[in-house]
Amino acid sequence: MNQFDLTGKTALVTGASYGIGFAIAKALGQAGARIVFNDRKPDLIEKGVAAYKELGIEAHGYNCDVTDEAAVGAMVARIRQEVGVIDILVNNAGIIKRIPMCEMAAADFRQVIDIDLTGPFIVAKAVIPGMIEKGGGKIINICSMMSELGRETVSAYAAAKGGLKMLTRNIASEYGQYNIQCNGIGPGYIATPQTAPLREVQPDGSRHPFDQFILAKTPANRWGEAEDLGGPAVFLASAASDFVNGHILYVDGGILAYIGKQP
């Protein structure tokens, strides 16, 4: 028996048209899962479906805002009718606003909390009844190193991701009796198109100062790749993790274990 086989499972990965969500959904699809994902932008849904198809992965995209409780309920009902009961949920959709705390409007703070913390609550709440009915399920919340650490300009994001860590533990506590495992993945610094400018070689041939900072803090001495999150996601979505609950798996190259290089 292959404990990591996800054949026959339906996996909803929020915000998985591209980036980290896409890489995680790709790994789940390659392990056999049927992939469903959402986005707020119809054009990104079309691009996402096409990108999965190129990889030979069947994927279904839905237009939905994770902060809209009625829309999420309707989406989950449609997925159940069109694809199947959701066995695996990955709460990946999120935003970050890098603004010094004393310059940040409360509306901006609330928006980050709404998408990064309230959204996972809404989507988890919508899928849990189906998981109970089916006899179990897997919920994976995409947390962050900011679930543990603070940093300048990310007060809202850190508050949301710290809250998501505790929501993860509470879902595990409340619904573990129904054979539902809820765990988190905390990515480290991942090389994405958004972070590419921070990794560009400078005109004098040196590394960007932020690139130097990250490498000095990372025992692996490199940025992570989105694909580095695929294996951990498959583990937490599979039978291999049936007795793992309320855990946050940090995929950070060792940053949280390391004090950093001496100057």
Catalytic annotation, pick one of 18, 52, 62, 157: 157
Q: How many Å separate Cα 139 from the centre of its chain?
A: 10
3-state helix, strand, coil in the chain (%, to 5): 50, 15, 35
- Distance of alpha carbon 100 from alpha carbon 41, whole angstroms: 29
CA distances from 19 to 60, 77, 87, 190 (A): 17, 26, 22, 10
Q: Is there a catalytic annotation at residue 18?
A: no
Alpha helices, DSSP H, located in 151-227: 155-175, 209-217
Which amino acid is it at 125? K
Evaluate whether 190 touches 199 at the Cβ level (below 8 Å).
no
Amino acid at 91: N
Strand partners, 226: none
Helix axis angle for 19-30 and 230-237, nearest 10°, is 60
Question: 197 and 25 in contact (C-beta within 8 Å)?
Answer: no
19 Cβ neighbours under 8 A, 6+ residues apart: 192, 193, 194, 226
Active site residues: 157
